[in-house]
Amino acid sequence: MQSGDDDAIWLMQGWLFTYDPFWEPPQMKALLHSVPVGRMIVLDLYAEVKPVWINSDQFYGVPYIWCMLHNFAADFEMYGILDAVASGPIDARLSEKSTMVGVGMSMEGIEQNPIVYDLMSEMGFHHRQVDLQVWVETYPTRRYGKSVVGLQDAWRILHQTLYNCTDGKNDKNRDVIVAFPDVEPFVIQTPGLCTRTSKNYSTMPSENSVLRDASNDAYDQPHIWYDTIAVIHALELFLEYGDEVSDSNTFRYDLVDLTRQALAKYANQIFLKIIQGYKSNNINQVTTLCERFLNIVEDLDVLLASHEGFLLGPWLESAKGLARDHEQEIQYEWNARTQITMWFDNTETKASANKYWSGLLRDYYGPRAAIYFKHLISSLKKKEPFALEEWRREWISLTNNWQSDMKVFTTTATGDTLNISRALYIKYLRNADSLGLDGMDSFGKPASL
């Protein structure tokens, strides 16, 4: 490097130090000192959750940048750790023997959770910790252009719940709608239900299927770190005071996102109750709740269509717009469709970069769930094991067809966000304290919470 530029330096991610036990202090120091100090800058890549600088003697004297990672695969999830963002860079800079030389953002996707990126964008200009009580209280006024007390109350709740994740877990959206489980139903654990040893056909694995072990990422439980009923109360405040700022595009964005968040968690629990019904051979429960789940997907698609920030069309059109000829246009659209659905070869399927986009729910996620539900119901009716391999074949076929399709999706929002959100709240969430069964609320927490 220096043969081409005398001032060249290494810029190295510090991510490897967060997950690989090989990197004990001697190994870290040896790597970091393999070039002269000052010729390398380390990105403390995930410092808001797993700061390496604290336990590495400030990277053993090597300069580093305090980074917020926050998002994986550009997934949609209302999530953040505002307190860590407001204090972490300041604590690092003022710490003893600090070698911090800057702040940065290392997210895999940025077009979500504006409040998190608004705050982080300020941190390079603050000399002391941000007073978040004041900052959050004034945030809706800055964002919507008008001071509304009810919305200030709503954002206080969101700060204390969605944006106060302190469990140290990576947040990767695993909502059932967008990250549908690829397992036999009995693998999915539900509270107080029959186990794998049941002699019901519905709970026995198919004889010839190859299952991934349940403990080996077979079914990633959606990440819940907050009081979901409190979040629904914040949504109620958005709906109650929304008329005062309904002309604000940023308010409509936040309302879509908050409604989506609440309904997605509701759908997660509906799915678990479908599995509960399957394990107990209750075909009426399974049929009824499968229909409800698919209705939620359709209704969510309508909600998402009401704001341009939640449309599939712009993603596909921007990809096609880069093409120089028709052949490239076909390839680029296929690339764009594949990137957000399934990455696979002959042995593995992966839906990593899932998205809550109108068009994607209606034309892909909904039909995918319907295929799985079809096989659930067929298994109960025929008293046969769940046809896992047949489900996979149909899912892959659906995916191949969707990825190769060239259907044009709109780039223009349609519908009144506030009215749609109010209708969906009434339809699904108004009686949130009694949505569940067996003493559980609709999101899997005790109903008393």
B/e letters for 19-39, b = 16+ CB within 10 Å, e = fewer, are eeeebeeeebbebbeeeeeee
Whole-angstrom distance, CA of residue 91 vs CA of residue 306: 41
- At residue 345, the pLDDT reads 61
- pLDDT tier, 225 (very low <50, low <70, confident <90, very high otherwise): very high
Whole-angstrom distance, CA of residue 311 vs CA of residue 417: 13
pLDDT digits (tens, 9 = 90+) for 96-145: 999 999 999 999 999 999 999 999 999 999 999 999 999 999 999 999 99
- At residue 199, the pLDDT reads 34
Please state, for a pLDDT cut of 90, what percent of the chain lies above it.
Answer: 80
Letter for the amino acid at 278?
Answer: Y
Of the chain, the end-to-end C-alpha distance in Å amounts to 58
pLDDT digits (tens, 9 = 90+) for 138-168: 999 999 999 999 999 999 999 999 999 999 8
- The number of angstroms, rounded, from the C-alpha of 373 to the middle of its chain's C-alpha atoms is 23
- At residue 196, the pLDDT reads 31
- At residue 292, the pLDDT reads 97
Q: Quick check: pTM over 0.85? A: yes
- pLDDT tier, 449 (very low <50, low <70, confident <90, very high otherwise): very low
Whole-angstrom distance, CA of residue 366 vs CA of residue 148: 37
Whole-angstrom distance, CA of residue 222 vs CA of residue 180: 11
- At residue 350, the pLDDT reads 66
**pLDDT for 239 beyond 90:** yes
Q: Helical H runs in 348-412?
A: 360, 366-382, 388-404
- At residue 439, the pLDDT reads 33
Average pLDDT value for residue range 389-393: 95
At residue 105, φ and ψ (nearest 5 deg) are -125, 130
Residue boundaries of the structural domains of the chain: 10-127, 169-224+249-434
Both tokens of 276, joined, read 């509960």
- Name which of 339, 323, 315, 162 is nearest 233 in CA terms: 162
pLDDT digits (tens, 9 = 90+) for 329-386: 999 999 999 999 988 765 455 677 899 999 999 999 999 999 999 999 999 999 999 9
- Name which of 31, 324, 126 is nearest 134 in CA terms: 126
**pLDDT for 441 beyond 70:** no
Label residue 383 left, alpha or beta by phi (over 0 means left) and psi (-120 to 50 means alpha): left
pLDDT digits (tens, 9 = 90+) for 297-327: 999 999 999 999 999 999 999 999 999 999 9
Instruction: For CA atoms 314, 320, 321, 326, give the dihedral sign.
Output: negative
Cβ distance 201 to 384 under 8 Å? yes
Average of per-residue pLDDT values in the chain: 89
Average pLDDT value for residue range 8-36: 93
Whole-angstrom distance, CA of residue 170 vs CA of residue 347: 26
Q: 87: number of CA atoms within 13 Å, CB side? A: 8
- At residue 433, the pLDDT reads 57
CATH number for domain 169-224+249-434, candidates 1.10.600.10, 3.40.50.1580, 3.30.70.1520, 1.20.120.670: 1.20.120.670
- At residue 204, the pLDDT reads 39
pLDDT digits (tens, 9 = 90+) for 23-49: 999 999 999 999 999 999 999 999 999
- At residue 192, the pLDDT reads 43
Q: Helical H runs in 311-445?
A: 313-320, 326-339, 360, 366-382, 388-404, 417-424
- At residue 18, the pLDDT reads 86
pLDDT digits (tens, 9 = 90+) for 179-200: 998 999 999 988 643 333 333 4
- Name which of 119, 115, 56 is nearest 89 in CA terms: 119
Angle value at C-alpha 17, between 14 and 21, nearest 5 degrees:
165
Name residue, tokens 């094991």: 385
pLDDT digits (tens, 9 = 90+) for 81-93: 999 999 999 999 9
